[in-house]
């Protein structure tokens, strides 16, 4: 019995349902959780494609870090449902237009002309000791080394920009300098005074 | 007799074989979790010059069973204004990753459930999922303390996860593989060859981050009973509460096993390479050494709890971001250079 199609259809059904739920669900925490589910099932499908490195990195980075921070923000919000629904008719026409444009663009890119089954050869099943981690590393650090480095620099710029946007000096707040705390010695704080015990005068 | 067993085993359908293997791994884990709670109370008891539990069974040996029974019989209370589905999903999502990660742990040469090429990455990815259970249960409880704790825990796990990941990059660099079996085999030779020596800073960073990741003292700000009552599980009772505890202890064992595999030579004998002793102990199966190393690391967990006071939250963040991450980055460079020049006796 071939188990692969069963696994594929099971996970793709979950993936499609979860993705639909992300945009239809009212509660934003649920939406974020459905997005997590979508990422996770997507990773499972990638495993089926024998792309274990990419799929595990998807879980590690997107599910394990990015979505946690997302949930963080969403959990803190106190969103009123009725307020959200107020602008529905107002934004329906521009929103619908944007949606149509996106659908047309998607159809052009991933439509049957470019993306049909006949356009791609069947994926080759690899031996068990085939390591696509190694292959990926080889490709990334030889053929694609410049794009790779460029992406790294881009991220660095983004980090510096984010820090410089949010960092502000606040001299009025009290905060501790751990280095100073560690350097403090007993002599700086305590003074032992030696003195004669006093006698009470009669 | 052995041949007969072999043939009957081969007759068993593959799915059933896998399920049986999973049972063989999970049942001992759950038993160790139960007895780790007893060990913790005993160890901390003796550290504080007490005896610890000694009433249930001989020397208190049946205490975990009594505790488990008590929790199983208690009512699971679901708060009215909580989100019921997520409230019950939270504990499950906390426990599941702690057990699923065991699929790639090698107990001896060739004794592993799945010999995954990217095994290390798998363990790391699965362990990073544990935070969801806590975030979800903290939010679904609809309680202030639970939410504060969930947010603390999320920030803590993300911060220490980065240091942990960097430390593991060093291991991968030194072993030249993501496969956990090959990582153990790369440490073959003697206990000097194990990665704890060439990767000493990464070993410390990984283990301490592991303590933070499992939310154990001195990093247990998510529970913080003196500040936020009990943190994310303040609204839980009965079996739902027990699942959080099972998860915490299962995670402790998992971190200890992973540390033993990656830094302390896994199933390799510590007497390897020592003439005389090596032969004397050659009959000991590898799994015994792995379990002994795990038990030692678990003892450290208990020792830490009895020794250190809790970190303040800003100190904890400072340690993670400003101490651990720079240390790992520097040591990654050192390891890279050592591998490049084939520094002996580890990388030749």
- pLDDT at position A159 is 92
Give the whole-angstrom CA distance, residue B195 versus residue B200. 7
Q: Per the CB < 8 Å rule, is A72 touching B155?
A: yes
Residues A172-193 pLDDT 10s: 777 777 788 888 888 888 888 8
CA distance A77 to chain B (A): 11
Of A59, A68, A75, the CB nearest to B131: A68
- The answer to whether B193 and B245 are in contact (CB under 8 A) is no
Q: Is B206 exposed, middle or buried (0-12, 13-18, 19+ CB in 10 A)?
A: buried
- pLDDT at position B206 is 92
- The answer to whether B244 and B94 are in contact (CB under 8 A) is yes
Number of domains comprising chain A: 1
Give the whole-angstrom CA distance, residue A123 versus residue A125. 6
In a domain, A142, yes or no: yes
Residue indicated by tokens 């599941």: B96
Give the whole-angstrom CA distance, residue A176 versus residue A168. 17
Size of interface A-B (CB pairs under 8 A): 67
Residue of chain B minimizing CA distance to A67: B132
The 8-class DSSP code of residue A162 comes to H
Q: Per the CB < 8 Å rule, is B136 touching A68?
A: no
Whether pLDDT at A79 is above 80: no
Give the whole-angstrom CA distance, residue B236 versus residue B79. 9
Note the pTM of the prediction, 2 decimals.
Answer: 0.84
- pLDDT at position A129 is 67
In a domain, A180, yes or no: no
- pLDDT at position A111 is 76
Residues on chain A touching B151 (C-beta within 8 angstroms): 72, 75-76
In a domain, A43, yes or no: no
CA distance A43 to chain B (A): 11
Residues on chain B touching A131 (C-beta within 8 angstroms): 117
Q: Per the CB < 8 Å rule, is A53 touching B135?
A: no
Of A56, A65, A68, the CB nearest to B118: A56
Reduced to 3 states, what is the DSSP secondary structure of residue B141?
A: coil
Residues B209-259 pLDDT 10s: 989 888 887 888 777 677 777 778 878 888 888 888 888 899 999 999 999
In a domain, A61, yes or no: no
Residues A14-29 pLDDT 10s: 999 999 988 888 778 8
In a domain, A140, yes or no: yes
More confident site: A33 or B190: A33
- The answer to whether B199 and B175 are in contact (CB under 8 A) is no
The mean of the pLDDT values for chain A is 83
In a domain, A134, yes or no: yes
List the single best residue of A64, A72, A130, A136 to mutate versus B (max B Cβ within 10 A). A64
Of B125, B157, B315, the CB nearest to A56: B125
Give the whole-angstrom CA distance, residue B38 versus residue B343. 44
Residue indicated by tokens 């997107």: A62
Chain A, 17 to 56: residues with Cβ < 8 Å from chain B are 29, 33, 36, 52-53, 56
Whether pLDDT at A1 is above 70: no
Instruction: Mark residue B342 as left, alpha or beta (left: phi above 0; alpha: psi -120 to 50; beta: remaining).
Output: left
Angle, helices B84-100/B238-263, rounded to nearest 10 degrees: 30
- The answer to whether B163 and B320 are in contact (CB under 8 A) is yes
List the single best residue of B140, B158, B313 to mutate versus A (max A Cβ within 10 A). B158
Q: How confident is the model at residue A78 (pLDDT cuts 50, 70, 90)?
A: low
What does the angle CA A27 – CA A30 – CA A36 come to, to the nearest 5 degrees?
150
Q: Provide DSSP, B278-343.
A: HHHTTTS-HHHHHHHHHHHHHHHHHHHHHHPPPPPHHHHHHIIIIIIHHHHHHHHHHHHHHHHTT-
- pLDDT at position B215 is 82
Reduced to 3 states, what is the DSSP secondary structure of residue B186?
A: coil
- pLDDT at position A178 is 75
Of A60, A63, A75, the CB nearest to B139: A75
- The answer to whether B203 and B196 are in contact (CB under 8 A) is yes
Whether pLDDT at A100 is above 90: yes
More confident site: B109 or A8: A8
Give the whole-angstrom CA distance, residue A36 versus residue A31. 9
Q: Which two tokens stand for residue B14?
A: 């593959």
Q: Which two tokens stand for residue B250?
A: 């299962």
Residues on chain A touching B86 (C-beta within 8 angstroms): 33
Q: Provide DSSP, A21-63.
A: HHHH-SSHHHHHHHHHHHHHHHHHHHHHTT-HHHHHHIIIIII
In a domain, A189, yes or no: no
User: ipTM of this model?
Assistant: 0.81
Q: Per the CB < 8 Å rule, is B158 touching A53?
A: no
Residue of chain A minimizing CA distance to B155: A69
Give the whole-angstrom CA distance, residue B146 versus residue B262. 35
Whether pLDDT at A150 is above 90: yes
Reduced to 3 states, what is the DSSP secondary structure of residue A3?
A: coil
Weakly modelled stretches of chain B, pLDDT under 70:
1, 224
Residue of chain B minimizing CA distance to A73: B151
Range(s) of the domain holding residue A154: 130-165
List the single best residue of B86, B116, B126, B128 to mutate versus A (max A Cβ within 10 A). B128
CA distance B140 to chain A (A): 10
Instruction: Mark residue A92 as left, alpha or beta (left: phi above 0; alpha: psi -120 to 50; beta: remaining).
Output: alpha
- The answer to whether B153 and B222 are in contact (CB under 8 A) is yes
Residues B115-145 pLDDT 10s: 878 888 888 888 888 888 888 888 888 888 8
In a domain, A101, yes or no: no
- The answer to whether B163 and B209 are in contact (CB under 8 A) is yes
Whether pLDDT at A86 is above 70: no
CA distance B123 to chain A (A): 9
Residues on chain B touching A163 (C-beta within 8 angstroms): none
Rounded to an integer, the average pLDDT of A96-100 is 92
Q: Per the CB < 8 Å rule, is A133 touching B118?
A: yes
Residue A63 contacts B where some CB pair is shorter than 8 Å? yes
Whether pLDDT at A128 is above 80: no
Residues on chain B touching A72 (C-beta within 8 angstroms): 135, 151, 154-155
């Amino acid at each position: 019995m071939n188990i692969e199609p069963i696994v594929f259809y099971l996970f793709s059904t979950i993936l499609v349902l979860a993705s639909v739920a992300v945009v239809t669900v009212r509660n934003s925490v649920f939406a974020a959780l459905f997005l997590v589910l979508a990422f996770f099932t997507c990773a499972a499908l990638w495993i089926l494609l024998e792309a274990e490195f990419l799929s595990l990195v998807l879980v590690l980075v997107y599910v394990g870090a990015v979505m946690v921070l997302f949930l963080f923000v969403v959990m803190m919000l106190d969103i009123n449902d009725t307020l959200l629904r107020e602008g529905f008719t107002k934004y329906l026409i521009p929103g619908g237009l944007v949606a149509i444009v996106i659908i047309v663009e998607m159809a052009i890119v991933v439509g049957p002309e470019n993306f049909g089954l006949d356009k791609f050869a069947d994926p080759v099943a690899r031996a068990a000791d085939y390591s696509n981690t190694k292959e990926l590393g080889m490709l990334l650090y030889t053929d694609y080394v410049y794009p790779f480095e460029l992406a790294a620099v881009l991220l660095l710029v983004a980090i510096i920009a984010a820090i410089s946007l949010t960092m502000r000096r606040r001299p009025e707040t009290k905060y501790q300098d751990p280095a100073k705390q560690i350097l403090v010695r007993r002599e700086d704080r305590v003074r032992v005074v030696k003195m004669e015990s006093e006698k009470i005068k009669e | 007799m052995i041949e007969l067993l072999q043939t009957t085993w081969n007759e068993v359908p593959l799915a059933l074989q896998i399920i049986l293997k999973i049972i063989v791994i999970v049942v001992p884990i759950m038993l160790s979790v139960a007895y780790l709670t007893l060990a913790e109370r005993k160890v901390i008891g003796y550290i504080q010059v007490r005896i610890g539990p000694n009433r249930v069974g001989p020397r208190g040996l049946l205490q975990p069973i009594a505790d488990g029974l008590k929790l199983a019989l208690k009512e699971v209370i679901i708060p009215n204004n909580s989100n019921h589905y997520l409230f019950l999903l939270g504990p499950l999502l906390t426990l599941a990753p702690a057990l699923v990660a065991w699929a790639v742990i090698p107990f001896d040469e060739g004794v592993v459930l799945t010999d995954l090429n990217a095994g290390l990455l798998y363990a790391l990815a699965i362990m990073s999922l544990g935070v969801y259970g806590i975030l979800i249960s903290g939010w679904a409880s609809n309680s202030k303390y639970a939410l504060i704790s969930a947010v603390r825990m999320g920030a803590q796990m993300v911060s220490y996860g980065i240091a942990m990941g960097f430390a593991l990059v060093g291991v991968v660099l030194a072993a030249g593989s993501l496969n956990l079996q090959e990582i153990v085999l790369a440490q073959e030779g003697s206990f000097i060859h194990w990665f704890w020596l060439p990767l000493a800073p990464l070993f410390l960073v990984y283990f301490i981050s592991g303590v933070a990741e499992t939310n154990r003292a001195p990093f247990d700000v998510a529970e913080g009973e003196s500040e936020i009552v009990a943190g994310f599980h303040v609204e839980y009772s009965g079996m739902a509460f027990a699942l959080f505890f099972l998860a915490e202890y299962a995670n402790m064992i998992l971190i200890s096993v992973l540390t033993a595999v990656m830094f302390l030579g896994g199933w390799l004998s510590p007497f390897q390479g020592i003439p005389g002793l090596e032969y004397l102990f050659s009959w000991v199966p590898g799994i015994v050494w792995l379990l002994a190393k795990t038990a030692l690391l678990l003892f450290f967990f208990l020792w830490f709890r009895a020794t250190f006071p809790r970190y303040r939250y800003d100190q904890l963040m400072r340690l993670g971001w400003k101490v651990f991450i720079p240390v790992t980055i520097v040591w990654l460079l050192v390891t890279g250079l050592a591998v490049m020049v084939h520094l002996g006796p580890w990388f030749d």
